[in-house]
Chains A and B, each alone.
Chain A
Amino acid sequence: MIRAKTYQNAKVQARSNPELAWWVFMRVSGLVLVFLVLGHIYMTFIAQNDIASSEYSVVINKLSQPVWKFYDWLILALAGLHGLNGARYSIEDYGKTQQARFWIKTTLYTVAGALFIWGSIGLFTFNKIA
């Protein structure tokens, strides 16, 4: 993990190019997610507070529209990668042994990969009727 305040420092500290790329990715995806996720919470939780936004018919109706498929899939992909890389930083910091770190990461990536496929299927199953 890189503990740097500027891109220049990060570049010096980075052990590898991928590590530097992840440092940049966390900033860029984070900035995008601020708007995507707060917008998502506003639309589903604050703007429609009077109805149950998690009701099956409401969810199906929303997910059958291409714009929300794309919007939600973008959050799924960006938040998934951002979250997994953040979790990786924590595992590298707090995992006691090399073996423990390896197995925690392997389990996490497997579960996350399965959920990514599960979520993508959920998003692209429903199409608008009429």
Chain B
Amino acid sequence: MYKGREGQWAFFLHRFSGLAILFYLMIHVFSIGSAAISEDFYNTIHGVYKSPIFSLGLVLVASGVLYHALNGLRIIAMDMFGWGVKIQRELWYVTMFLTVLGGLLTLVLTGMRILNGGEA
């Protein structure tokens, strides 16, 4: 880490969210793919996900996907257009705002789902 400004945090969060999403993708593919083995096997694995830790993880990884997607578009804008570099700081604040907004939405939806008795 260096004493950078917004760009440093944008870079750090992009890496961190990217690695987290890859980790989630691997777990997700394993558990959905397990449906091909048997229904019991699938249900055994998915029973583990009823724990609140996984609900919280789902909210965090959904927010991570949103951040990674929006910041990725910001990176592409910086690569391709002059205006992308010029307003990269503003674009990062827009990214953060939308990430927090989307994160809160998934938090509410997950909370509602748990209250309705369904699994997250």
Whether, in the assembled complex, A74 has its beta carbon less than 8 Å from a beta carbon of chain B, the answer is no
A125-B36 contact given A34-B73, A83-B25, CB 8 Å threshold? yes
A46-B32 contact given A6-B79, A27-B76, A56-B42, CB 8 Å threshold? no
Do the beta carbons of A30 and B26 come within 8 Å of each other?
no
Majority DSSP secondary structure for residues of B touching A: helix
Do the beta carbons of B22 and A83 come within 8 Å of each other?
yes
Bound form: Cα–Cα A5–B79 in Å: 5
Q: Number of B interface residues at 8 Å Cβ cutoff, please give it.
A: 39
Do the beta carbons of B25 and A80 come within 8 Å of each other?
yes
Do the beta carbons of A38 and B106 come within 8 Å of each other?
no
Do the beta carbons of B76 and A30 come within 8 Å of each other?
yes
Per a CB cutoff under 8 Å, which of A41, A115, A118, A125 touches B62? Answer: A41
Do the beta carbons of A33 and B106 come within 8 Å of each other?
no
Majority DSSP secondary structure for residues of A touching B: helix
Bound form: Cα–Cα A60–B36 in Å: 9
Q: Number of A interface residues at 8 Å Cβ cutoff, please give it.
A: 43
**Chain B residues closer than 8 Å to A116, beta-carbon distance:** 29
> Closest Cβ of chain B: how far from A129's Cβ, in Å?
15
Per a CB cutoff under 8 Å, which of A33, A45, A119 touches B32? Answer: A119
Residues of B participating in the A interface, judged by any CB pair closer than 8 Å: 15, 18-19, 21-22, 25-26, 29-30, 32-36, 39, 42-43, 46, 49, 62, 65-66, 69, 72-73, 75-76, 78-80, 85, 105-106, 109, 112-113, 116, 118-119
Residues of A participating in the B interface, judged by any CB pair closer than 8 Å: 4-7, 27, 30-31, 33-34, 37-38, 41, 45-46, 49-52, 54, 56, 59-60, 63, 76, 79-80, 83-84, 86-87, 89-90, 111-112, 115-116, 118-119, 121-123, 125-126
Can you report 19 A-B residue pairs in the complex whose CB atoms are below 8 A from each other? A5-B85, A45-B62, A49-B109, A50-B118, A51-B118, A52-B113, A52-B118, A54-B49, A56-B39, A63-B32, A80-B25, A90-B19, A111-B26, A115-B30, A118-B33, A119-B33, A121-B33, A125-B36, A126-B36
